[in-house]
Amino acid sequence: MIDPVAFTLGPIQVHWYGIIMTSAFVIGVLLAERHAKKFGIDPEHILNMAMYIIPLAIVGARAYYVIFEWDHYRHNLAEALAIWHGGLAIHGGLIGGFLGGLWYVRRYNLPFLSFGDILMPSVILGQAIGRWGNFINQEAHGGEVSEEFINHFPAFIKRQMFIDGHFYHPTFLYESLWDLCVFFILLAILHRFRKFDGQVLFSYMVLYSIGRFFIEGMRTDSLMLGPLRAAQLVSLTLIAAGSGLLIWAWRRNKQQIGNQTSA
C-alpha cells in the first residue's frame, strides 16, 4: 500500500491526495489560459475566474459528499473538513465551479458559452488527473475481482487494489482513462470541429456522463439516493440536458446565420 502522506513539514503532513488535486487545478488553469489566448480572450480572466471557481468547486464537492454521508459525519463534524482523506464528489464540485464561473462572467458581462467551451477540456483533464488521488486513498474502486483478473494491470495498481485481503476493480482507472478520451475529443471539437458556441460545453455534459453512468454501476462506494445511485441519476439528467442544449445551441447558431444572411 502506498503511504497517503507524501512528506511532512514539521507537524504538517502533506498528502498525495492534495498534491494530485492541486496539480490538476494548476494544469487545468494553464491549459485554459492557453486556449483563451488562442481564441482572443484575455487570459487574465481565466486566472481571476479560477480564484472563484476552484474554492467553490472544493466546497461544493465536499459539501455534496458530506450531505449524502451525513450519518457518518453528524457526530464528527471535524472529520467533515478533512478533505485530504478523500470524499470529494465531482458532481458537487461541478455545481460549485459552475456557480463561481457563472457569477464571474455575469459580473464582467462575458460570453458564458464561449468561456464554457474554453474551460471544459481543462475540467475533464483535471478529473482524469484527480482520479489518481482516489487510487492513493484506495477509494472509488469497484467490486471484488480475482487475482487472475487483476494480473492484467500493472503491478503497482494490483498492489494498491489489494484491500483487506481482496483484489478490487480499479474503477478509478476506468474513469480516468474515459476522462482522458473525452479530453481529446473535446480538444478536437474545440480546435477543428466547433461550429457554434456551447458545442464543447454541452458535449462534455453528454460524453462524461455516459462513461460515468456505466462506471458508477461497478463501484461499491456510490452515494445513494434511497435505493438509487445518485451519480447515475445525475448522469442521466446531464445526458438529457446536454443533448437538448446541443440541439438548442445548434439551432440558435443556424438562426443567427440566417438573420445575418437576410440582413
**pLDDT (tens place) for every residue of the chain, 263 residues total:** 899 999 999 899 999 999 999 999 999 999 999 999 999 999 999 999 999 999 999 999 999 999 988 888 888 877 888 887 778 899 999 999 999 999 999 999 999 999 999 999 999 999 999 999 999 999 999 999 999 999 999 999 999 999 999 999 999 999 999 999 999 999 999 999 999 999 999 999 999 999 999 999 999 999 988 889 999 999 999 999 999 999 999 999 998 887 777 66
Which domain range does residue 28 map to?
5-262
Backbone torsions φ then ψ of 168, nearest 5 degrees: -135, 155
Give me 194's grid cell: 466547433
- Give CA–CA dist 77/72, Å, rounded: 9
Q: Which grid coordinates are listed for 226?
A: 434511497
Cell 488553469 belongs to 29
> What is the number of structural domains in the chain?
1
Query: Which tens digit of pLDDT belongs to each residue from 4-50?
Result: 999 999 899 999 999 999 999 999 999 999 999 999 999 999 999 99
- Of 90, 167, 79, which is closest to residue 128 (Cα–Cα)? 90
Grid cell, residue 41, equals: 480572450
The HSE-up count of residue 153 (CA atoms within 13 Å, CB side) is 20
Kindly calculate the radius of gyration of the chain based on its CA atoms and give it in whole angstroms.
20
